[in-house]
Structure 1
């Protein structure tokens, strides 16, 4: 496949940066499904969504959260909505502004407050993500509210990375990614994770070890 053909194809999909092997956003092209997962010791998330238009997707998600001291655990099941609010197509790059939110049920344990104390509440999770991408560099910043009655677990993350070299569309491209993130009320420190990302066509995988020595694995697949 020629580079110019890949450029047009990937822009139409709305998934990748203006050329071959770029970085995926939180939804795919119209009538596509996207599956994503993020896993480490204290944070495990998986969701699937379906794009009903080039800019809108509905889905379901499940998240497990645990505090650093292991005294608090949370599980969240939610219905989600993702929207591409704005896209800037530049000569050699692309920038996107996304809305991602959901509503669902959160269950939890607060052993440090009262042994065996359990709760079950309704939670809403609106958030914003901005990303900037070329075939060689990537930056993203996101903030998402995780709110229920008397609960605030707002999530903030910033990540940046670069590719080692450019490749053709049907070949695997390696990236170095560094992410810093924090979950309010569950961690007092910022989690920093350097990761290796591999992108090929409609999937990527990431793996690394954070500053607490915990392994982390992420994946995305479009189908």
Structure 2
């Protein structure tokens, strides 16, 4: 089932054409990587999907309510004198229960620091909490912009396992990352974004690791 469809999307930002004729769709339970060099338009595309930036042309169609979308864009917005747990409480939907918080804390192994104030968090701890906030309330679509920033190998493994678990339960992911060695371990498809346009949509089961790496090298050459 298609959860999100984007057709001929165009976005101008500060009078510059950042996205042009972007078209793709996301299916339920897919993990899709969004790959491109700095300035390719990845974050702008994610912000447009989330309605933070209005498009100049094209259409974004959800098969779910925008309230069922979780996101971590760039860096999580956190309050230094609140604890991690208090942040999760702030984001807990009215219809959800404390069990939803406990599920996120358990899956991302946040117990060791969830009751500390944010001012005492490392970058990696903030990233893990930010992902937890995005996963709260069982979203149908989760958009993650560079979620692996600041994570050590153990935390990266935990994040991969968490994303795979949610995807098996039907959650769709769109993930942007420059850490391709981690990203390719979990994604089903890769969208290659260059100069504001999706140039290739690659099914990962149709290429081996060497072919994928050669393709990326030629793409950035």
Structure with higher RCO (Cα < 8 A, 6+ apart): 2
Task: State TM-score, norm by structure 2.
Answer: 0.26
TM-score normalised to structure 1 length: 0.26
Greater helix share, 1 or 2? 2
Could you say which structure has the higher strand fraction? Answer: 1
